[in-house]
Structure 1
């Protein structure tokens, strides 16, 4: 792992020029102390890296230095193929992209670097909402899980269930899925389907025996089946709601399903509920009561719940408590 990091450090300096220890630490996801040790190791090995003091100082390579460092490791190649998010492959993917850029001809490298600085995909902030915070999974644990999945070996997990105490369990891993920054392990345990959230894995151990699983798997189909089973297996809640057209898509993004009942307060046959205020009337499904209350409270005054009554009462009580807390004396 250290050898891969040293290669990445050299490529960073070659492609970006002078960088401070803090900038290198941020790119390599290590401490500044580790960067200083790595720079010293490179110098000892004969790589012409030198330090410049002062306000605009940092580390740099002697001009013209070049070495063939573009071979990809298996993790780096895998990071490129799957995107690197959610599987503990982020640093490997970043290292692979640096190697790909370094392998380009000089003229193409400069053009690609300029183009990459003008394109930004999937940032953390949006104009209308903030992306959910990605799960923090201990690096060693997710690496062990990933290795067992790819090798086809059984796995011991020290896992914290949503309700209950942590415990060890032996599972047969099938595959890994990442959704909106959250990672999941699809597995079987005792022949029964199980889905484990990676953020709840405290520790993991790869076992030598092979996993009991089919040789081929359609992970996309399997994930859709488990999602459908999860959604229909709980205390699902249907809500009738009028919503501001500008917020309709946002509300739909938080729900299990959305059905248009009618517009302008009608249900499509002229009956309606007498609203007539131009807001679409929708029937929206949520996974449970807590999900419904959270989503409709988040919508604020842009949505008006018509039913069920318990949800109207819950939103009223919450709003009243907030109003009382901030009432002017």
Structure 2
């Protein structure tokens, strides 16, 4: 790890010129003291790094210094292969490796192309954290060390022991055969098998992980995209699906269809609205989808869904029905609003 960091330090100085110890520490994700020790080690190894004192001082390399230390290590090469978006590398615990690899790639470019490539990269943005409506993508926080342990087992083809907290169940240890890792909209998943049966585990619910020495019982080759599609289909078509009969404004039809699992029947009413029979993953999914459409849709059945939507609307109306702070007592509306928060 230190050798990679020393290489990265040299490449940063080559690409940026003079840099302060604090800036180097921030780029390398280490302490300032570690940077100073690394500078001493480079100097002792014959790398011509020198210090400039003063307000605008820092560390720099002698002009014209060249290095061939641009070979990628395993994690850096892996980071580049999954770096269709930087978020993908971050989700798999490869963020630091990606930054280090990109420094090496830039350093390997001919000097005449380096500035042009850097300027072009600043003109391209892929998958930003917010969209045009300022909706922020909330990525799950999973410790890098935990993701690294899972990733090593996946890549090495070893069995994996995980302490997993399934929904509404106490955490328990499971031994699985890892197949691959998938990230979707900032959420990471481990695809695995357990006792020969397909299993999908959300990384944010993995509390601890241990790579075992045993080889994983899995096919030598995998089409991960196909495996994910198949598991997604099983998820959507299994479980406690609910069917809803709904009237929808034609202008809002695509919104409804886009959130439903499927539409099984559709007809036009006399007033021009559409009557659809739509399937949803479960009751919370149906409630959330109809609530998003507000008055652009009306659930006709089942009755429990109409009751829930009515209670939601009543809770909001009570909250805003009077002057500030003069609405219904908190105890009356809090249970309903807490339900809203969890949908």
Structure 1 length-normalised TM? 0.83
Judged with a 3 Å threshold, the aligned counterparts in structure 2 of structure 1 residues 306 and 72 are, in CA distance, closer, same or farther, namely same
Residues 51, 57 of structure 2: 8 Å contact kept: no
**Structure-2 residue corresponding to 1:219:** 224
Contact 1:85 1:178 in 2 (8 A): no
Name whichever of 7-16 and 147-156 sits farther off. 7-16
Are the equivalent residues in 1 in contact too, given 2:290–2:299 (CA < 8 A)?
no
**Pick from 272, 276, 281: which aligns with 2:272?**
276
The separation in 2 between residues aligned to 1:327 and 1:69, in whole angstroms, is 68
Q: 1:20 to 1:173 in 2, by over 3 A?
A: same
Match of 1:264 in 2: none
1:35-50 to structure 2, matched below 5 A, reads 35-47=35-47, 48-50=49-51
Q: Say yes or no: does 1:200 pair with 2:194.
A: no
CA distance in 2, matches of 1:25, 1:300: 49
Relative distance call for 1:321 and 1:99 in structure 2 (3 A) is same
Aligned to 1:66: 66
Using the TM superposition, name which of 142-151 and 40-49 deviates more: 40-49
Q: Give deviations 1:31-82, integer Å, cap 9, x for gaps.
A: 555445544544454441535543x555444433332221000111111112
Offset at 1:281?
Answer: 6.2
Q: Residues 38, 295 of structure 1: CA spacing in aligned structure 2 closer, same or farther, 3 A cutoff?
A: farther
1:107 positional shift: 1.0
RMSD: 2.9
* C-alpha separation in 2, matches of 1:315 and 1:20: 58
Give the Å deviation of 1:26. Answer: 4.3
User: Structure 2 regions of 5+ residues with no counterpart?
Assistant: 84-88, 324-343
Residues 113 and 91 of structure 1: CA distance in aligned 2, closer, same or farther (over 3 Å)? same
Shift of 1:109: 0.7
Task: Give yes or no for contact 2:269–2:275 (8 Å, CA) kept in 1.
Answer: no
Supply the distance in 1 between the matched residues of 2:295 and 2:51 (Cα, whole angstroms).
59
Q: Using the alignment, how far apart are the partners of 1:78 and 1:249 within structure 2?
A: 39
Structure-2 change in CA distance of 1:281 and 1:17 (3 Å): farther
Provide the aligned length of Structure 1 versus Structure 2.
315
- Give 5+ residue unaligned stretches, structure 1: 262-266
Shift of 1:224: 1.3
TM (norm. structure 2) is 0.80
